[in-house]
Amino acid sequence: MKNAKNIMNTANLTRLVMLLAVLLSLIAIFLVATKRTPAQIHANECKSVVMVASGDTLSKLLLEQGLSHNDVNTIAKVLKSDAEISTLRADRDKLEFVRAHDDAPVSKIVVIPSPWRQVELTCNEKGGWECKTTDVERDIRAVYKSGEIQDGDSFYLAGQRAGIPAGILIDVYDLLAFEMDFERDVRAGQRFSVLYEENFANGQKIDNGRVLAVSFQALRGNVQMYRFRKSDGSTGYYDENGNGAIKSLKRTPINNAKITSKFSRNRKHPVLGYTRAHKGVDFRASTGTPIPAAGAGRVVARSFNRGHGNFVKIRHNGSFETLYAHMSKFAKGVNVGTTVRQGQTIGYVGSTGYSTGPHLHYEIIKDGVHVNPMTVKLPAISNLGKDDKKKFLEYRKTLDEGIEQLEKNPGMYIQL
Protein backbone atom coordinates (compact mmCIF):
# COMPACT_ATOMS: atom_id res chain seq x y z
CA MET A 1 0.00 0.00 0.00
CA LYS A 2 2.92 2.33 0.82
CA ASN A 3 4.51 1.72 -2.57
CA ALA A 4 1.19 2.47 -4.28
CA LYS A 5 0.87 5.72 -2.37
CA ASN A 6 4.41 6.72 -3.34
CA ILE A 7 3.70 6.09 -6.98
CA MET A 8 0.53 8.22 -6.94
CA ASN A 9 2.00 11.20 -5.07
CA THR A 10 2.18 14.59 -6.83
CA ALA A 11 5.89 14.56 -7.69
CA ASN A 12 5.76 11.16 -9.34
CA LEU A 13 2.59 12.02 -11.24
CA THR A 14 4.26 15.16 -12.65
CA ARG A 15 7.26 13.16 -13.82
CA LEU A 16 4.97 10.60 -15.51
CA VAL A 17 3.04 13.29 -17.38
CA MET A 18 6.29 14.90 -18.58
CA LEU A 19 7.61 11.53 -19.77
CA LEU A 20 4.43 10.85 -21.73
CA ALA A 21 4.61 14.33 -23.32
CA VAL A 22 8.19 13.70 -24.44
CA LEU A 23 7.25 10.33 -25.91
CA LEU A 24 4.27 11.83 -27.79
CA SER A 25 6.51 14.62 -29.16
CA LEU A 26 9.05 12.08 -30.41
CA ILE A 27 6.30 10.05 -32.08
CA ALA A 28 4.92 13.18 -33.78
CA ILE A 29 8.37 14.19 -35.04
CA PHE A 30 8.90 10.69 -36.43
CA LEU A 31 5.54 10.70 -38.23
CA VAL A 32 6.17 14.12 -39.77
CA ALA A 33 9.62 13.06 -40.93
CA THR A 34 8.41 9.84 -42.51
CA LYS A 35 5.03 10.90 -43.92
CA ARG A 36 4.68 13.43 -46.81
CA THR A 37 1.60 15.61 -47.13
CA PRO A 38 -0.29 15.76 -50.45
CA ALA A 39 1.23 19.19 -51.10
CA GLN A 40 4.74 17.79 -50.59
CA ILE A 41 4.01 14.88 -52.90
CA HIS A 42 2.75 17.29 -55.54
CA ALA A 43 5.84 19.49 -55.13
CA ASN A 44 8.11 16.54 -55.82
CA GLU A 45 6.34 15.53 -59.03
CA CYS A 46 8.44 15.46 -62.16
CA LYS A 47 6.94 17.27 -65.18
CA SER A 48 8.12 17.53 -68.77
CA VAL A 49 6.49 19.53 -71.58
CA VAL A 50 6.73 18.54 -75.24
CA MET A 51 5.73 20.83 -78.12
CA VAL A 52 4.38 18.83 -81.04
CA ALA A 53 6.74 19.14 -84.00
CA SER A 54 6.33 18.30 -87.67
CA GLY A 55 6.18 14.52 -88.13
CA ASP A 56 5.18 13.84 -84.53
CA THR A 57 2.26 11.54 -83.82
CA LEU A 58 0.50 10.73 -80.57
CA SER A 59 1.83 7.17 -80.73
CA LYS A 60 5.42 8.33 -81.28
CA LEU A 61 5.38 10.80 -78.40
CA LEU A 62 3.75 8.40 -75.93
CA LEU A 63 6.13 5.54 -76.76
CA GLU A 64 9.09 7.89 -76.27
CA GLN A 65 7.82 8.51 -72.73
CA GLY A 66 7.89 4.79 -71.96
CA LEU A 67 4.19 4.01 -72.27
CA SER A 68 3.15 0.62 -73.61
CA HIS A 69 1.38 -0.01 -76.91
CA ASN A 70 -1.75 -0.95 -74.94
CA ASP A 71 -1.62 2.40 -73.12
CA VAL A 72 -1.12 4.21 -76.42
CA ASN A 73 -4.19 2.57 -77.96
CA THR A 74 -6.31 3.24 -74.88
CA ILE A 75 -5.25 6.88 -74.64
CA ALA A 76 -5.93 7.44 -78.35
CA LYS A 77 -9.45 6.02 -78.00
CA VAL A 78 -10.20 8.05 -74.86
CA LEU A 79 -8.95 11.29 -76.46
CA LYS A 80 -11.11 10.72 -79.53
CA SER A 81 -14.28 9.74 -77.69
CA ASP A 82 -14.12 12.07 -74.66
CA ALA A 83 -12.20 15.10 -75.97
CA GLU A 84 -12.76 14.89 -79.75
CA ILE A 85 -8.99 14.93 -80.35
CA SER A 86 -7.88 12.54 -83.09
CA THR A 87 -4.73 14.25 -84.40
CA LEU A 88 -2.01 16.50 -83.04
CA ARG A 89 -1.05 19.79 -84.72
CA ALA A 90 2.60 20.68 -85.20
CA ASP A 91 3.79 23.90 -83.51
CA ARG A 92 0.38 24.36 -81.87
CA ASP A 93 -0.39 21.48 -79.48
CA LYS A 94 1.58 20.75 -76.30
CA LEU A 95 1.74 17.65 -74.09
CA GLU A 96 2.73 17.67 -70.42
CA PHE A 97 3.85 14.38 -68.86
CA VAL A 98 3.72 13.97 -65.07
CA ARG A 99 5.57 11.37 -62.96
CA ALA A 100 5.78 10.86 -59.21
CA HIS A 101 9.58 11.09 -59.55
CA ASP A 102 12.23 10.87 -62.27
CA ASP A 103 12.22 7.08 -62.60
CA ALA A 104 8.48 6.56 -62.15
CA PRO A 105 6.11 5.75 -65.04
CA VAL A 106 3.86 8.47 -66.46
CA SER A 107 0.82 8.87 -64.20
CA LYS A 108 -0.79 11.88 -65.84
CA ILE A 109 -0.81 13.44 -69.31
CA VAL A 110 -2.08 16.94 -70.02
CA VAL A 111 -2.89 17.72 -73.66
CA ILE A 112 -3.02 21.46 -74.36
CA PRO A 113 -4.71 22.05 -77.74
CA SER A 114 -5.16 25.77 -77.05
CA PRO A 115 -4.38 28.30 -74.31
CA TRP A 116 -8.05 28.10 -73.30
CA ARG A 117 -8.52 24.33 -73.10
CA GLN A 118 -6.72 21.52 -71.32
CA VAL A 119 -7.39 17.80 -71.49
CA GLU A 120 -6.12 15.83 -68.49
CA LEU A 121 -5.56 12.06 -68.71
CA THR A 122 -4.91 10.20 -65.46
CA CYS A 123 -4.02 6.58 -64.87
CA ASN A 124 -6.36 4.98 -62.31
CA GLU A 125 -5.60 2.19 -59.84
CA LYS A 126 -6.64 -0.48 -62.36
CA GLY A 127 -4.25 0.84 -65.00
CA GLY A 128 -6.99 2.42 -67.14
CA TRP A 129 -6.95 5.99 -68.39
CA GLU A 130 -9.59 8.59 -67.55
CA CYS A 131 -10.14 11.90 -69.34
CA LYS A 132 -11.25 15.29 -68.03
CA THR A 133 -11.54 18.48 -70.09
CA THR A 134 -11.08 21.88 -68.47
CA ASP A 135 -11.79 25.27 -69.99
CA VAL A 136 -9.31 27.92 -68.88
CA GLU A 137 -11.10 31.03 -67.66
CA ARG A 138 -10.31 34.13 -69.70
CA ASP A 139 -9.41 37.43 -68.12
CA ILE A 140 -10.72 39.77 -70.85
CA ARG A 141 -9.58 43.38 -70.90
CA ALA A 142 -10.72 46.13 -73.26
CA VAL A 143 -7.76 48.19 -74.49
CA TYR A 144 -7.95 51.54 -76.29
CA LYS A 145 -5.51 52.77 -78.94
CA SER A 146 -5.69 55.92 -81.04
CA GLY A 147 -3.56 57.60 -83.67
CA GLU A 148 -3.37 60.14 -86.45
CA ILE A 149 -2.55 59.86 -90.14
CA GLN A 150 0.65 61.71 -91.01
CA ASP A 151 2.00 62.84 -94.39
CA GLY A 152 2.89 59.84 -96.51
CA ASP A 153 1.16 57.42 -94.13
CA SER A 154 -1.05 54.52 -94.99
CA PHE A 155 -3.63 53.57 -92.39
CA TYR A 156 -1.62 50.43 -91.66
CA LEU A 157 1.59 52.36 -90.89
CA ALA A 158 -0.29 54.85 -88.72
CA GLY A 159 -1.99 51.97 -86.90
CA GLN A 160 1.34 50.26 -86.23
CA ARG A 161 2.77 53.51 -84.85
CA ALA A 162 -0.26 53.76 -82.54
CA GLY A 163 0.56 50.31 -81.14
CA ILE A 164 -2.37 48.45 -82.66
CA PRO A 165 -1.50 44.75 -83.25
CA ALA A 166 -1.35 43.56 -86.86
CA GLY A 167 -4.25 41.12 -86.46
CA ILE A 168 -6.50 43.83 -85.02
CA LEU A 169 -5.54 46.18 -87.87
CA ILE A 170 -6.61 43.55 -90.39
CA ASP A 171 -9.98 43.21 -88.64
CA VAL A 172 -10.40 47.00 -88.66
CA TYR A 173 -9.55 47.07 -92.38
CA ASP A 174 -12.28 44.51 -93.03
CA LEU A 175 -14.80 46.61 -91.09
CA LEU A 176 -13.94 49.98 -92.59
CA ALA A 177 -13.71 48.63 -96.14
CA PHE A 178 -17.51 48.62 -96.21
CA GLU A 179 -17.54 52.41 -95.85
CA MET A 180 -14.14 53.65 -97.03
CA ASP A 181 -11.79 53.62 -99.98
CA PHE A 182 -8.38 53.38 -98.32
CA GLU A 183 -6.71 54.74 -101.43
CA ARG A 184 -8.70 57.97 -101.65
CA ASP A 185 -10.20 58.49 -98.18
CA VAL A 186 -6.98 58.51 -96.12
CA ARG A 187 -5.47 61.99 -95.58
CA ALA A 188 -2.95 63.53 -93.19
CA GLY A 189 -4.57 64.84 -90.01
CA GLN A 190 -7.32 62.23 -89.81
CA ARG A 191 -7.67 60.63 -86.40
CA PHE A 192 -8.77 57.10 -85.63
CA SER A 193 -9.29 54.91 -82.58
CA VAL A 194 -9.88 51.26 -81.78
CA LEU A 195 -11.23 49.53 -78.68
CA TYR A 196 -10.37 45.83 -78.69
CA GLU A 197 -10.03 42.84 -76.37
CA GLU A 198 -6.87 41.38 -74.90
CA ASN A 199 -7.15 37.88 -73.41
CA PHE A 200 -5.15 37.02 -70.29
CA ALA A 201 -4.71 33.82 -68.28
CA ASN A 202 -2.94 33.70 -64.91
CA GLY A 203 -1.78 37.27 -65.38
CA GLN A 204 -0.14 36.59 -68.76
CA LYS A 205 -1.44 37.93 -72.06
CA ILE A 206 -2.30 35.06 -74.41
CA ASP A 207 -3.78 36.72 -77.49
CA ASN A 208 -6.02 39.48 -78.79
CA GLY A 209 -9.77 39.14 -79.02
CA ARG A 210 -12.41 41.03 -80.96
CA VAL A 211 -12.73 44.64 -82.08
CA LEU A 212 -15.35 46.26 -79.82
CA ALA A 213 -15.48 49.74 -81.34
CA VAL A 214 -13.75 51.66 -84.11
CA SER A 215 -13.83 55.29 -85.16
CA PHE A 216 -12.27 56.97 -88.22
CA GLN A 217 -12.49 60.57 -89.38
CA ALA A 218 -13.14 59.78 -93.06
CA LEU A 219 -13.68 62.33 -95.82
CA ARG A 220 -17.38 61.51 -95.94
CA GLY A 221 -17.73 62.05 -92.20
CA ASN A 222 -16.82 60.24 -89.00
CA VAL A 223 -17.28 56.47 -89.35
CA GLN A 224 -18.18 54.73 -86.07
CA MET A 225 -18.87 51.08 -85.46
CA TYR A 226 -19.77 49.22 -82.25
CA ARG A 227 -19.92 45.48 -81.71
CA PHE A 228 -23.22 44.49 -80.07
CA ARG A 229 -24.89 41.22 -79.12
CA LYS A 230 -28.59 41.09 -79.96
CA SER A 231 -31.27 39.43 -77.83
CA ASP A 232 -31.20 36.35 -80.08
CA GLY A 233 -27.50 35.85 -79.29
CA SER A 234 -26.14 36.94 -82.66
CA THR A 235 -23.57 39.74 -82.87
CA GLY A 236 -22.91 42.44 -85.41
CA TYR A 237 -21.47 45.92 -85.88
CA TYR A 238 -23.71 48.98 -85.77
CA ASP A 239 -23.25 52.71 -86.19
CA GLU A 240 -23.87 55.21 -83.40
CA ASN A 241 -27.60 55.17 -84.11
CA GLY A 242 -27.98 51.39 -84.09
CA ASN A 243 -28.12 50.97 -87.85
CA GLY A 244 -26.23 48.07 -89.42
CA ALA A 245 -22.66 49.20 -90.11
CA ILE A 246 -21.68 46.16 -92.16
CA LYS A 247 -22.88 46.53 -95.71
CA SER A 248 -23.80 43.68 -97.99
CA LEU A 249 -20.82 44.42 -100.27
CA LYS A 250 -17.29 45.73 -99.74
CA ARG A 251 -16.08 48.67 -101.80
CA THR A 252 -12.52 47.34 -101.87
CA PRO A 253 -12.32 43.51 -102.03
CA ILE A 254 -8.50 43.42 -101.61
CA ASN A 255 -7.34 45.28 -98.51
CA ASN A 256 -4.72 48.00 -98.97
CA ALA A 257 -4.59 47.57 -102.75
CA LYS A 258 -3.77 50.73 -104.72
CA ILE A 259 -6.33 51.98 -107.24
CA THR A 260 -4.75 52.28 -110.69
CA SER A 261 -7.85 53.17 -112.69
CA LYS A 262 -11.13 54.66 -111.47
CA PHE A 263 -14.69 54.15 -112.58
CA SER A 264 -15.34 56.36 -115.63
CA ARG A 265 -17.94 56.82 -118.34
CA ASN A 266 -15.23 57.99 -120.73
CA ARG A 267 -11.71 56.49 -120.51
CA LYS A 268 -9.07 55.73 -123.12
CA HIS A 269 -8.44 51.99 -122.98
CA PRO A 270 -4.73 51.25 -122.41
CA VAL A 271 -4.75 48.21 -124.72
CA LEU A 272 -7.39 49.00 -127.34
CA GLY A 273 -6.34 52.63 -127.67
CA TYR A 274 -9.79 54.14 -128.06
CA THR A 275 -12.15 55.78 -125.59
CA ARG A 276 -14.91 53.83 -123.91
CA ALA A 277 -16.51 53.50 -120.48
CA HIS A 278 -14.49 51.91 -117.66
CA LYS A 279 -17.27 50.15 -115.79
CA GLY A 280 -15.31 49.25 -112.68
CA VAL A 281 -12.28 50.02 -110.56
CA ASP A 282 -8.81 48.53 -111.05
CA PHE A 283 -6.74 47.52 -108.02
CA ARG A 284 -3.02 46.86 -108.39
CA ALA A 285 -1.89 43.57 -106.86
CA SER A 286 0.77 40.98 -107.63
CA THR A 287 -0.04 37.84 -109.58
CA GLY A 288 -1.44 35.14 -107.35
CA THR A 289 -2.93 37.48 -104.74
CA PRO A 290 -6.17 35.88 -103.44
CA ILE A 291 -9.37 37.64 -104.52
CA PRO A 292 -12.13 37.46 -101.87
CA ALA A 293 -15.82 37.71 -102.66
CA ALA A 294 -17.05 41.21 -101.79
CA GLY A 295 -20.24 39.73 -100.36
CA ALA A 296 -22.15 36.51 -99.90
CA GLY A 297 -23.96 35.25 -102.96
CA ARG A 298 -24.13 32.72 -105.78
CA VAL A 299 -21.71 32.39 -108.69
CA VAL A 300 -23.63 33.03 -111.92
CA ALA A 301 -20.67 33.13 -114.31
CA ARG A 302 -17.17 31.65 -114.33
CA SER A 303 -15.62 31.92 -117.74
CA PHE A 304 -13.14 33.58 -120.12
CA ASN A 305 -13.54 36.29 -122.71
CA ARG A 306 -11.08 38.46 -124.59
CA GLY A 307 -11.76 41.59 -122.59
CA HIS A 308 -12.07 40.31 -119.02
CA GLY A 309 -9.88 37.23 -119.40
CA ASN A 310 -10.74 34.81 -116.60
CA PHE A 311 -13.63 36.32 -114.67
CA VAL A 312 -16.22 35.44 -112.02
CA LYS A 313 -19.61 37.06 -111.58
CA ILE A 314 -21.60 36.77 -108.34
CA ARG A 315 -25.27 37.61 -107.75
CA HIS A 316 -25.81 38.84 -104.19
CA ASN A 317 -29.54 39.60 -104.12
CA GLY A 318 -32.26 40.85 -106.42
CA SER A 319 -30.43 44.15 -107.02
CA PHE A 320 -26.66 43.67 -106.81
CA GLU A 321 -24.03 41.69 -108.74
CA THR A 322 -20.23 41.91 -108.68
CA LEU A 323 -17.67 40.94 -111.32
CA TYR A 324 -13.97 40.13 -110.86
CA ALA A 325 -11.78 40.07 -113.99
CA HIS A 326 -8.25 39.29 -115.32
CA MET A 327 -7.75 36.37 -112.90
CA SER A 328 -4.71 34.17 -113.30
CA LYS A 329 -6.81 31.21 -112.18
CA PHE A 330 -10.05 30.32 -110.44
CA ALA A 331 -10.22 29.08 -106.85
CA LYS A 332 -10.84 25.36 -106.45
CA GLY A 333 -14.50 24.50 -106.00
CA VAL A 334 -15.82 27.83 -107.34
CA ASN A 335 -18.18 27.00 -110.19
CA VAL A 336 -21.42 28.32 -111.63
CA GLY A 337 -24.09 27.70 -109.00
CA THR A 338 -21.63 27.66 -106.09
CA THR A 339 -22.76 29.61 -103.02
CA VAL A 340 -19.91 31.69 -101.59
CA ARG A 341 -19.58 33.54 -98.32
CA GLN A 342 -18.24 37.04 -97.91
CA GLY A 343 -14.42 36.98 -97.85
CA GLN A 344 -14.15 33.52 -99.47
CA THR A 345 -11.37 33.30 -102.07
CA ILE A 346 -12.91 32.96 -105.54
CA GLY A 347 -9.78 33.37 -107.67
CA TYR A 348 -6.31 34.88 -107.92
CA VAL A 349 -4.99 38.11 -109.41
CA GLY A 350 -3.56 37.87 -112.89
CA SER A 351 -3.29 39.68 -116.22
CA THR A 352 -5.48 37.63 -118.55
CA GLY A 353 -7.56 39.29 -121.30
CA TYR A 354 -7.02 42.94 -122.28
CA SER A 355 -4.60 43.89 -119.51
CA THR A 356 -1.25 45.65 -119.30
CA GLY A 357 -0.23 44.09 -116.00
CA PRO A 358 -1.48 42.09 -113.00
CA HIS A 359 -4.47 43.72 -111.31
CA LEU A 360 -8.07 43.10 -110.24
CA HIS A 361 -10.82 44.74 -112.26
CA TYR A 362 -13.85 44.99 -109.94
CA GLU A 363 -17.39 45.91 -110.97
CA ILE A 364 -20.66 46.43 -109.10
CA ILE A 365 -23.87 46.12 -111.08
CA LYS A 366 -27.07 47.48 -109.51
CA ASP A 367 -30.37 46.59 -111.15
CA GLY A 368 -28.49 45.76 -114.36
CA VAL A 369 -26.58 49.06 -114.47
CA HIS A 370 -22.86 49.45 -113.71
CA VAL A 371 -22.27 51.82 -110.78
CA ASN A 372 -19.17 53.31 -109.15
CA PRO A 373 -18.06 50.91 -106.37
CA MET A 374 -16.55 53.83 -104.46
CA THR A 375 -19.69 55.96 -104.27
CA VAL A 376 -22.72 53.69 -104.64
CA LYS A 377 -24.94 53.51 -101.56
CA LEU A 378 -24.74 49.95 -100.26
CA PRO A 379 -27.51 48.32 -98.23
CA ALA A 380 -26.83 47.18 -94.69
CA ILE A 381 -27.15 43.50 -93.88
CA SER A 382 -29.45 44.13 -90.91
CA ASN A 383 -30.60 46.88 -88.57
CA LEU A 384 -31.65 46.52 -84.96
CA GLY A 385 -35.24 46.03 -83.89
CA LYS A 386 -36.93 48.42 -81.49
CA ASP A 387 -36.06 46.58 -78.27
CA ASP A 388 -32.50 45.77 -79.32
CA LYS A 389 -31.91 49.34 -80.47
CA LYS A 390 -32.94 50.67 -77.05
CA LYS A 391 -30.47 48.28 -75.36
CA PHE A 392 -27.80 49.16 -77.90
CA LEU A 393 -28.08 52.91 -77.25
CA GLU A 394 -27.70 52.28 -73.50
CA TYR A 395 -24.72 50.00 -74.15
CA ARG A 396 -23.13 52.50 -76.55
CA LYS A 397 -23.45 55.27 -73.96
CA THR A 398 -21.70 53.11 -71.34
CA LEU A 399 -18.98 52.11 -73.84
CA ASP A 400 -18.42 55.74 -74.88
CA GLU A 401 -18.01 56.74 -71.22
CA GLY A 402 -15.42 53.99 -70.83
CA ILE A 403 -13.59 55.12 -73.98
CA GLU A 404 -13.55 58.69 -72.64
CA GLN A 405 -11.85 57.50 -69.46
CA LEU A 406 -9.31 55.46 -71.43
CA GLU A 407 -8.51 58.50 -73.60
CA LYS A 408 -7.56 60.36 -70.43
CA ASN A 409 -5.68 57.38 -68.97
CA PRO A 410 -3.94 55.52 -71.85
CA GLY A 411 -2.36 52.93 -69.55
CA MET A 412 -5.66 51.74 -68.14
CA TYR A 413 -8.05 49.06 -69.40
CA ILE A 414 -11.67 48.06 -68.87
CA GLN A 415 -12.26 44.73 -67.14
CA LEU A 416 -14.91 42.83 -69.09
Q: What is the pLDDT of residues 205-233, one digit of tens each?
A: 999 999 999 999 987 788 999 999 999 99
What pLDDT does residue 11 have?
53
- Please give the Cα distance from 348 to 370 (Å, whole number): 23
Q: At 268, is the pLDDT very low, low, confident or very high (cuts 50, 70, 90)?
A: very low
pLDDT digits (tens, 9 = 90+) for 40-69: 445 568 999 999 999 999 999 999 999 999
Cβ atoms < 10 Å from Cβ of 99: 17
H or E segment to which residue 278 belongs: strand 275-278
Average pLDDT score over residue span 267-296: 76
Torsion of CA 18, 23, 28, 29, to 10 degrees: 100
Query: If pLDDT is split at 50, 70 and 90, which confidence band does 103 have?
Result: confident
> What's the length of the chain?
416
Let me know: does 264 contact 278? Beta carbons within 8 Å: yes
pLDDT higher than threshold 50 for residue 325: yes
State the pLDDT at residue 174.
Answer: 84
Q: What is the mean pLDDT of residues 283-309?
A: 93
- The Cα–Cα gap between 165 and 154 comes to 15
Is the pLDDT at 7 greater than 90? The verdict is no
d(CA 67, CA 372): 66
E-only strand ranges, 62-175: 94-99, 106-114, 117-123, 129-135, 139-148
Q: How many CB atoms lie within 10 A of CB 265?
A: 11
Q: Indicate the Cα dihedral angle 385, 391, 396, 397, nearest 10°.
A: 130
* pLDDT at residue 267 greater than cutoff 70: no
HEC string for 56-71: CCHHHHHHHCCCCHHH
Query: What's the confidence (pLDDT) of residue 37?
Result: 44
Quote the pTM value: 0.66
pLDDT at 290: 96
Number of neighbours of residue 247 by Cβ within 10 angstroms: 18
Which range has highest mean pLDDT (112-116, 276-280, 376-380)? Answer: 112-116
381 phi, psi to nearest 5 deg: -70, -45
Q: For the ranges 35-49, 257-271, 323-337, 397-411, which has the lowest average pLDDT?
A: 35-49
* DSSP tally for the chain: helices H, then strands E: 8, 23
Mean pLDDT, rounded, of the chain: 86
Q: What is the DSSP string of 1-29?
A: -HHHHHHHSHHHHHHHHHHHHHHHHHHHH
Q: Which helix (H) or strand (E) holds 136?
A: none
